[in-house]
């Protein structure tokens, strides 16, 4: 029996491009119909961050146990800390027919691409590399040596852009959100047409 599953939406891109900002803006709208998958991380909470809301903040031991038990859809080590997506939440939500939204860095996104090839992969790009550096400095959450690491890393991350279904420029947050929503809507329409055609063929048997 054919079962409709939700769509897995992956938003990725270099550090400092505005993934978190765009994601928060998307989820602040009552019209947003997809569920945010809260990641697990070994990094320390920043001021104002809440366990179970922003991230599940866990020790390296707990995180490594999750890896061994196969409980993460993907994970990556990023500037000295682990980040990963708990698998059960994603599976349960997709099985219930609801869309899941992941906001993750590019190494993890490549793992998801392998495991869930029919996901929707969106790369958030900065208007320019100098804009990216300005944003990282402007955010002021990291020391200058860490910012330098992140800018270097961002250059490598930009090379992975061609692996994505769509590239969305984050020039203005509200415009980037509109673009993401338009892509998701178009993808739903496409899938509905394919699904309808498939079901018609089954009925005709
Ligand atoms: N692979 C992976 N990356 C994640 C996950 N959650 C967050 N990230 C990414 O990890 C990077 C660092 O996140 P964070 O420390 O919160 O810093 P910020 O996003 O740069 O403010 C960002 O690029 C996030 O998108 C996850 O579950 N898996
Ligand atoms: N479109 C934009 N224009 C200008 N600044 C932005 C824009 N989007 C995000 N920013 C700023 O850039 C910095 C990095 O954004 P953030 O969402 O933390 O990036 P990421 O999650 O990709 O690492 C933040 O200070 C944020 O306010």
Tell me the pLDDT band of 180, cut-offs 50, 70 and 90: very high
16 is in an annotated binding site: yes
Is residue 105 very low, low, confident or very high in pLDDT (cuts 50, 70, 90)? very high
| Tens digit of each residue's pLDDT (9 = 90 or more) over 117-173 | 999 999 999 999 889 888 888 877 777 788 888 888 888 898 899 899 999 999 999
For 4-45, how does the pLDDT look when each residue is reduced to its tens digit (9 = 90+)? 899 999 999 998 899 999 999 999 999 889 999 999 999 999
Please give, one letter per residue, the 3-state secondary structure of 138-189: HHCCCCHHHHHHHHHHHHHHHHHHHHCCEEEECCCHHHHHHHHHHHHHHHHH
The rounded Å distance from CA 135 to ligand 2 centre is: 6
119 is an annotated ligand-binding site residue: no
Q: How far is the CA of 2 from the centre of ligand 1 (A)?
A: 35
Ligand 1 site, residue 157, Cβ cutoff 6 A:
no
What confidence score (pLDDT) does residue 73 get? 98
Spell 84-116 as b/e; 16+ CB within 10 A means b: bbbbeebeebbeeeebbbbbbbbbbbbbbbeeb
Q: Domain residues of the chain, as ranges?
A: 8-37+99-203
- Closest atom of ligand 1 to 40 CA is 27
| 8-37+99-203 is classed CATH 3.40.50.300 | yes
Q: Angle between the 129-139 and 144-158 helix axes, to the nearest 10 degrees?
A: 150
104: Cβ below 6 Å to ligand 1? yes
Ligand nearest to the CA of 78: 1
The residue whose CA is least distant from atom 7 of ligand 2 is 18
Can you give the pTM of this predicted structure?
Answer: 0.94
Q: 12 in ligand 1 pocket by Cβ < 6 Å?
A: no
**ipTM given for this complex:** 0.97
Closest CA to 99 of 73, 70, 119: 119
Q: What is the mean pLDDT of residues 65-76?
A: 98
96 CA distance to ligand 1 centroid (A)? 26
Mean pLDDT of the chain: 93
């Amino acid at each position: 029996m054919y079962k409709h599953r939700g769509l897995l939406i992956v938003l990725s891109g270099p550090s400092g491009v505005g993934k978190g900002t765009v994601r928060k803006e998307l989820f602040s709208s009552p019209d947003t119909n997809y569920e945010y998958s809260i990641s697990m991380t070994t990094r320390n909470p920043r001021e104002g961050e809440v366990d179970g809301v922003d991230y599940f903040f866990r020790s390296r031991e707990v995180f490594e146990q999750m890896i061994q038990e196969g409980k993460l859809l993907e994970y990556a080590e990023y500037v000295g800390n682990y980040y990963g997506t708990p698998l059960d939440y994603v599976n349960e939500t997709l099985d219930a027919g609801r869309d899941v939204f992941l906001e993750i860095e590019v190494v993890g996104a490549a793992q998801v691409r392998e495991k869930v090839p029919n996901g929707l992969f969106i790369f958030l790009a900065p208007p320019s590399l100098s804009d990216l550096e300005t944003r990282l400095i402007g955010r002021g959450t990291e020391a200058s040596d860490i910012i330098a690491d992140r800018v270097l890393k961002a250059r490598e991350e930009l090379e992975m852009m061609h692996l994505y279904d769509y590239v969305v420029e984050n020039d203005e947050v509200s415009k980037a959100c509109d673009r993401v929503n338009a892509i998701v809507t178009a993808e739903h329409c496409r899938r509905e047409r394919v699904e309808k055609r498939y079901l018609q063929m089954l009925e005709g048997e």
